[in-house]
Structure 1
């Protein structure tokens, strides 16, 4: 039987970036020291998360209750396979995103950099809080904390476009969480009288009717709108007014992954996959996700602005995770969990490349990028690798999660949804591969004749290039060595099976 260990480590892993806020603010006029504090907190956070990995891989969990507010309602932390997988993704990518942020913010001489790094740190504290939440109540608190902490990042430029995008961002996320999730949470608490602690078999069975279960499932699915599921997705492309490091944070490290992570928790820890199979209600969510996948991919094809194309790509890729969970088969759920990591690495690479292109050339439209691959070979090589990962092609980790999702659809006997995965893959290739191709092989004969030389490259600064190179290599490493991610996912799938 798996054991449970009581430890303050998961709490500290969440708090460490919050504790870094004070030195970041105090050192605001000394940028090198300020960013040194950011890096120190990032490495400590990652170290704390990694220190718990052997315990989780051994099949145990780590728990700590901070405060029991009223009977059966506590702020509590618990680390299991799924939480560890997400915690590793968030804490590791915070390090490379912090380095990238320095290069981007300094390269463009952005204002209010201290404020930026302050709320960046708070956002990561909330993200790890979500990853290690032991119950639905704690998850909700950190989810709301993340919404509020990322608002100043989205509105960083403080112009009309940023304020409009920020209002849309906060309106969507708060209205859905307060309007959908909070009533659902209260209903669950009243109906079950339990602590709402996540369980491998869920905790709703025997407490609600089938119709109540369907309503609750939809409230939670749409209420966690950070997942970008249509029709509650418009905030996501609207948030592209933020600086590119924020876009990377939103699309890979924190916000959107928190949305799909919360939905995974609802499927596996609140309802339980067995209970959902008995009720036969998850298919409704599966088809909503399938529609989102195809529709967002078609919209992405029409976007000339690179960040907007990547934003609509994210909307579709997040629904891969939701669809995998809704299929309920072991392989599909495994693919859903591992896709959190695989998509994070691929998509953060693409966004950092978009930012590096803007820092070096000021260009943000795909139609302007003909021949840029000869001037920025590292950036566009990394972009091509990131694109392969998002599409799900070798030699990148995206192939692994896509394989499990596709075979999981077959296991579930959902041939129509299997076709959705295949159509989406073709659409992904259609909107991503031409970007790298036109950068290296432009149609303009004059651009095509330009000789390549490392001496004439015009890459962005090294703080931008190094992180995107690291994540591109990581995408390949996850193809070669995906075992520990599959093992973490397997701990959850085995517990639910």
Structure 2
């Protein structure tokens, strides 16, 4: 299949959307329906890999779509940050699809066709966000992502799921309409452009407006889950575990922090950010989010709830990287998008595997579980190391560059926050696998291996291995992150 670069770009956005029709048409035949999802995932990986090779060779890929308003068009272009995000989402969609097959069948979930169809729409919107060439395009696909994931959050149809979905939809739509849309309109009136541009759109004559618009962007991108607009994320944990993996690693939260980083770099520009009085206030708010969310995570006995608050904390690492307005901070934030994705998706995969195989959701119930589910708990240990930022896992590199970025910015407080946060990560993550393998003598130890269904087990093993691979072979991601600044 020889496609022009522009055709490959559009295909990367359209293939998941087209897969929706195949999934719906084959809904009554589960094997064929799931094969459609897997084939679409493989095609998407081939496309994003091909696009990466073109970008790595210095190629420029852009597509100008229809004009919606005077001077405002739907447009796509590939830059290094978007390419990094697309690679992460593209590869993890396939892995999550394989995991979902085992989970949805093992848990005997209903409405599986709708689940896989909405999942595909979400990935299509993620590709649109990743390759957006202007704020209008990003906003449109950002809203499609919110709407397409709402049925996934409320999948079980219970009252609790509907309440969680209401919070999810309410917070994300309210922040995007009241703050993000207002910020975009303000940017248009002040600068006359919505295009993403190297160095940003603002200059010395518009610093006052930029100082006002920056908080609107940070709070308007509710998917970044900065406090106090984070409640949607714990509320969404009523969803099936594959959806939690989608929310935390593949799509929703990553779309949020990606948007924060992209807007800070290509709308404001690092030079402008350093001059804004509101930058430091937002930086310290992100630091507070890191610490408070970690403290709340320590108090959660429900595993998914603990992981949810961990994600709230970890997302603010990337927001910090953007607001430090240093080269190392941007590189660290970009790399943390990928590293956190592999680490956190592994942890959620393990949480789902434990529920399906052992029917346990509370951490206090998991003592001694390592003997029954050794592969799952080893994977959980590896994922935990990556989230903490310890070698030999990929999470080490994101935190390393964030620390350097804080040092370059002269932000000793931020450096202290990052170090304290890593200690809190250890406190709320490592005791889980340790107790699973080394329970107290008075705890009844499960016997006999009873792992999750094979597709789920394969998926969590692949992502756990990915955490280690990214430590030793991080070159391509680092080069993409570094190219953001060129």
Q: TM-score, normalised by structure 1?
A: 0.95
Q: How far did 1:6 drift?
A: 6.5
Q: Which residue of 2 aligns with 1:256?
A: 253
| Distance in 2 (alpha carbons) for counterparts of 1:446 and 1:226 | 40
1:192–1:207 Cα contact (<8 Å) kept: no
Secondary structure at 1:467 match in 2? helix
8 Å contact from structure 2 (residues 5, 51) kept in 1: no
Structure 2 residue ranges without an equivalent (≥5): none
Q: Which of 203, 218, 236 pairs up with 1:221?
A: 218
Deviation at 1:207, TM superposition (A): 5.7
Count of residues paired in the alignment? 483
- State the alpha-carbon separation in 2 of the partners of residues 241 and 67 from structure 1: 39
SS of residue paired to 2:61: strand
SS in 1 for 2:210: helix
Deviation at 1:192, TM superposition (A): 1.9
Residue equivalent to 1:306: 303
Q: Does 1:240 align with 2:232?
A: no
- Deviating beyond 6 angstroms after TM superposition, the runs of 4 or more aligned structure 1 residues are none
Select which of 397, 400, 417 maps to 1:420.
Answer: 417
- C-alpha displacement of 1:199: 1.0
Range that drifts further, 424-433 or 278-287: 278-287
Structure 1, residues 243-295: CA drift from partner, whole Å, max 9, x if none?
00000000000000000011111100100001112335421221010000000
Partner of residue 64, structure 2? 65
- Residue 446 of structure 1 deviates from its aligned partner by 5.3
Tell me what 2:372 maps to: 375
The alpha-carbon deviation at position 8 of structure 1 amounts to 2.6
Are 1:59 and 1:491, in contact at CA under 8 Å, matched by a contact in 2?
A: no
Q: 2:113, 2:74 → 1: CA distance?
A: 30
- Looking at structure 2, the residues matched to 418 and 323 of structure 1 have their Cα atoms a distance apart, in angstroms, of 11
1:384 is matched with 381
1:482 equivalent in alignment to 2:449: no
Secondary structure, counterpart of 1:59 in structure 2:
coil
Match of 2:333 in 1: 336
Unaligned segments of structure 1, at least 5 residues: none
1:458 is aligned to: 450
Matches of 1:293 and 1:120, distance apart in 2: 29
Return the TM-score normalized by structure 2.
0.97
Q: Deviations over 1:477-496 (max 9, x none)?
A: 00001111010000002x2x
Match of 1:430 in 2: 427
- What's the CA shift for 1:206? 4.8
Mapped partners of 1:126, 1:207: distance in 2: 35
* Structure 1 residues 100-144: Cα deviation after superposition (integer angstroms, max 9, x where no partner): 000000001100000000100000000111000000110000000
What SS does structure 2 have at the residue aligned with 1:20?
Answer: helix
SS at match of 1:87: helix
| 1:280–1:55 Cα change, 3 Å | farther
Alpha-carbon offset, residue 69 of structure 1: 2.1
Aligned 1:88-487 pairs, distance under 5 A: 88-194=87-193, 196-206=194-204, 208-210=206-208, 212-445=209-442, 447=444, 456-487=448-479
Residues in 1 aligned to 2:404 and 2:5: alpha-carbon distance in whole angstroms: 38
Contact preservation (8 Å) 2:207, 2:276: no
For the structure 1 residues 446 and 370, does the alpha-carbon distance in structure 2 shift closer, same or farther, using more than 3 Å as the test? Answer: closer
For 2:227, what is the secondary structure of its paired residue? Answer: coil
1:27 CA drift (Å)? 0.4
Cα contact 2:367–2:443 (8 A) shared by 1: no
Distance 1:259 1:398 in 2: 19
- Kept after mapping to 2: 8 A contact 1:339/1:402: yes
